[in-house]
Structure 1
Amino acid sequence: MDWLKHHRLTAFFVLAYAISWASWPFFAAGLMPRMEFLSVGPLAAAVIVIALAVGRAGFRAWGRRLIRWRVGWIWYAVALLLPAALVLVTGFITMALGAAAPGLERLTWGGLMTVFAVRLVNPLDGALGEEPGFRGYALPLLQASRPPLLSAAVLGALVTLWHLPLVLFSGLSAIGLPTTFAITFLYVWLFNRTGGSVLLTLLFHNSQGTFTVGSFGFTATDAGRAELIYFLAVVLAVLATVVLDRRAWRRAPRSATAVGRFSLRMRPL
């Protein structure tokens, strides 16, 4: 228990990987027909580590971050609209290069809202499975002893590796990995700018997964080109935050860090 209290980040990521990748050995041994990637891993890992290493005080601090809603309305707009804007820019550029977008004809506001609502409450989907763990638990611990830019890089690398089975077994394009790394910086920026609100990163993640580049219905070469354009759009958005909002990257607000009895004595990851 003493080791766990001083190595919470290591314990969290080991558990998150182990839970999400649990079926990999069984699939490799031919005991399962397919690899089942459990995106609830980070959420489950956070609950387990908090329960064993900190207890009620840890759950109270974590819970406050999960439901922190008193932020400026502009940040709700950023969380909901920035992911859609990145997708629209990607789609329009791809179409300007000659691609057809048959998927747009099938899109409806009702359909998008339904997908958004279901994803918002489904722990087996990416948003609710990831955000309370990666942003709500791991990021504050990282930022307790590291600047935001370095914390984003470390978290981005670990979250990207966590997604690896989706590339190997679920058809996710390989460019999805560097895109995941890059977009982590936007999550960290939003988290810190809202004083450590997991609710806002959850909305951002949910918006990102509701209206995607795939919604345009690009095929073959056009689909690959669109994924590359999307990656570049994300990178440009990250660079914009670094250049235009340098203050946000100098130091995380105290409310977005885990500073407490055990955090100050925590050994590096």
Structure 2
Amino acid sequence: MQSTLVTPAGPVRSGISRWIAGHPLTAFLAWLFTVGQGIAFFPLLVDVPVPHQVFIVATSLLGLLLPAVAITWIADGPAAAGRFLRRFVDWRVAWRWYALALAVVPVVAVGLARPLLGAPTGSWTDALVSGFALSLVLTLIPNNWAEEGAWSGFFQARLQQRHSLVMAALLVAPVFALQHVSLAVGNPLPVAVAMLAFLAVLMVPYRILTGRIWNRTGSLLILGLVHAAGNAAGPGSGFGDGLLRTLYPGEAMTAGFLHLLAYAVVGLAVLALGRK
């Protein structure tokens, strides 16, 4: 099933509204990489007594979700914006999509960890409860739900009106990776560039995965769960360690990025299936 949010546009106002309606993706990126990144970089420039994750959440809500909704309203009208928002609570999909969203990426990540890191030394109970379940909630509701709403339901969905699934993923992956530039700052420049390039490459199959799920379900709830479950399996919520970091407390760096490899493995498997 091909899902789309784009509807024939009604009368458009002059000036900035007309430009936004004619260039919705450019307008989105302009907001993200000014206002959105300004929020993300603020705690790196000013010492604030709150966790940095608070600003990451604010970036997702104000730098990603807000412009996605506003631009949809301007370009396609209030009815389209309402349909977009309803996608966030579209839970009426087959149970297998929930199984895919919640289990597949974490299981693959754990499977990759065993040959790379050996037997886990942490508690499975702690890893599943405080590491995975709690992180899933803390990263889904304020962060990854909004993030996938903007990237999958707005940006990538519009690209798929003009491009194939794979081409849309190739176009989204670099800017999606660049959104995380504030997390790479602090490393030497060559290392930071390598980190972002590595992320961009791994995000191509991940964006194929999210595009396939979007095309088949149109549910931003499922997409938010996919993103959140992966983060909960790896680094965690930003307010605490995730599943793998809890299982491998001495391997925080490696355990923190194995979910990215798992995203890529699952995305490549989905691509190999060859169904739209």
CA contact (8 A) 2:123 2:247 kept: yes
Does the C-alpha gap of structure 1 residues 133 and 235 become closer, same or farther in structure 2, counting only changes over 3 Å? closer
Does 1:33 pair with 2:47? yes
Pick which of 46-55 and 80-89 moved more. 46-55
Q: Which residue of 2 aligns with 1:70?
A: 92
CA shift, 1:143, in A, is: 0.8
Q: Which residue of 1 aligns with 2:140?
A: 120
CA distance in 1, matches of 2:34, 2:224: 23
Give secondary structure in 2 for the equivalent of 1:102.
coil
Q: Which residue of 1 aligns with 2:168?
A: 151
CA distance in 2, matches of 1:226, 1:114: 17
Scaled by the length of structure 2, what TM-score is found?
0.73
Q: 5 Å matches for 1:1-269?
A: 1-23=17-39, 32-33=46-47, 36-37=55-56, 38-40=59-61, 41-96=63-118, 101-102=121-122, 104=124, 106-109=126-129, 112-122=132-142, 125=143, 127-169=144-186, 174=195, 175-194=198-217, 196-212=218-234, 213-219=244-250, 231-244=260-273, 246-248=274-276
CA contact (8 A) 2:207 2:267 kept: no
CA shift, 1:149, in A, is: 0.8
CA contact (8 A) 1:131 1:202 kept: yes
Q: Tell me the number of residue pairs that the alignment of Structure 1 and Structure 2 aligns.
A: 237
CA distance in 2, matches of 1:24, 1:113: 26
For structure 2, list consecutive stretches of 5 or more residues without a partner in the other structure: 1-16, 235-243
For structure 1, list consecutive stretches of 5 or more residues without a partner in the other structure: 249-269
Task: Tell me how large the CA RMSD over aligned residues is.
Answer: 3.1
CA contact (8 A) 1:116 1:210 kept: yes
CA shift, 1:226, in A, is: 5.0
CA contact (8 A) 1:103 1:218 kept: no
Does the C-alpha gap of structure 1 residues 116 and 231 become closer, same or farther in structure 2, counting only changes over 3 Å? closer
CA contact (8 A) 1:43 1:133 kept: yes
CA distance in 1, matches of 2:200, 2:43: 22
Scaled by the length of structure 1, what TM-score is found?
0.74
